[in-house]
Amino acid sequence: MHGNSTSILKGVLAQAPSRTANLPPAFLLPAFTTTQTSGFSSSTAHRARKNGNPARGVSALRRSGLGKRLRNLSVKLENLPQPVLDPQRRSKVEVDDDHGLWQFFPPDRTALASPEHLNAHGRSWTVPELRQKDWDDLHRLYWVCVKERNRIATTEWERKRVGGRDGLYGEYEAQQRDSVVKETMKAIKHTLTERWYAWENARVAAMEDEEVNLYADLEKGEPAYIPRGSASESSDFRIEDEKRGGTSELSPPEFSNPNKSDEKVRNAI
């Protein structure tokens, strides 16, 4: 394409002046010129091509070492502090005795619990026993179990770290203690499931009962249970009491002495 345009331009310029009428207009002459083209952009980049991150390529996992800029540090090995190997010369660190993290350690506050301590436990709670507890007691007992399982898991992790492949004594005792705690947690969930179904059944029955008002505000004194026919009677009694200026009182039973009432019942039978 470039060769054809060049030859055409040369042929046009080499013609006689008499053929000037065949020349293209002046504004079309740049189209016949050859220009150097490239398949990529030759414009200069607006950003610098150098790497501005001194930690580029530094990886602790691949052991690449420090970069060139990080190698020339002002800190030298002889300027680093030396560890204090003598326990008598070490500074004492004050630790709060009531710190919450102590709850994740054994009672003697050691890193590892002894097998005797792990084996000193009772049986798990049963569902009939947990049915006698209220919601707050079940909530506290469940989170005590969660904390105990966390304590057992922490002890086992430390035992495997210290003992290595061979391990240390106490793994069997820890598993037995953990199984007892899990049985207690299952019993708590079973008890709460029973209560939820009982509450749901009672709610459905109350919605179908006309004498129960589920939307009553007990703080304002609204009754939640209104027997049939008692609403009109209670309102009539209240109106009469307001007129008299007194309070309504129920009449005492006919037989105040239970022995006499029993004798009348026997005679009637």
Domain boundaries, position 194:
103-208
Is residue 12 a part of any domain in this protein? yes
User: Which residue's entry shows tokens 């009432």?
Assistant: 261
Residues 28 and 107 occupy one common structural domain = no
Of 19 and 191, the one with more pLDDT: 191
> Residue 25 — pLDDT band, cuts 50, 70, 90?
confident
Write the single-letter amino acid at 108. Answer: D
> Residue 21 — pLDDT band, cuts 50, 70, 90?
low
Residues 203 and 116 occupy one common structural domain = yes
| Total domains in the fold of the chain | 2
Is residue 24 a part of any domain in this protein? yes
Is residue 229 a part of any domain in this protein? no
User: Which residue's entry shows tokens 């065949």?
Assistant: 22
Is residue 264 a part of any domain in this protein? no
User: Does 248 have pLDDT greater than 50?
Assistant: no
**For position 128, what pLDDT does the model report?**
95
Is residue 15 a part of any domain in this protein? yes
Residue 28 is classified by DSSP as G
- Residue-wise pLDDT for 59-100, tens only, equals 878 777 777 766 776 767 777 888 888 988 888 888 888 898
Among the candidates 154, 175, 208, a domain finishes at 208
**For position 180, what pLDDT does the model report?**
96
Tokens found for residue 218: 């007990």
Distance (Å, whole) CA 80 – CA 175? 46
**For position 264, what pLDDT does the model report?**
46
Is residue 160 a part of any domain in this protein? yes
Residues 109 and 24 occupy one common structural domain = no
> Residue 169 — pLDDT band, cuts 50, 70, 90?
confident
Answer whether 32's CB lies under 8 Å from 8's CB: yes
**For position 45, what pLDDT does the model report?**
66
Among the candidates 181, 208, 235, a domain finishes at 208
- Residue-wise pLDDT for 121-160, tens only, equals 999 999 999 999 999 999 999 999 999 999 999 989 988 8
Is residue 80 a part of any domain in this protein? no
Please state which of the ranges 148-152, 189-193, 253-257 shows the lowest mean pLDDT.
253-257
**For position 49, what pLDDT does the model report?**
67
Any residues with CB less than 8 A from the CB of 170 and at least 6 apart, and which? Answer: 112, 113, 114, 115, 118, 155, 159
Distance (Å, whole) CA 49 – CA 207? 76
Is residue 59 a part of any domain in this protein? no
User: Does 177 have pLDDT greater than 60?
Assistant: yes
Going by C-alpha positions, the residue among 134, 231, 61 that lies closest to residue 222 is 231
Mean pLDDT of 206-230: 83
Tokens found for residue 170: 């106490």
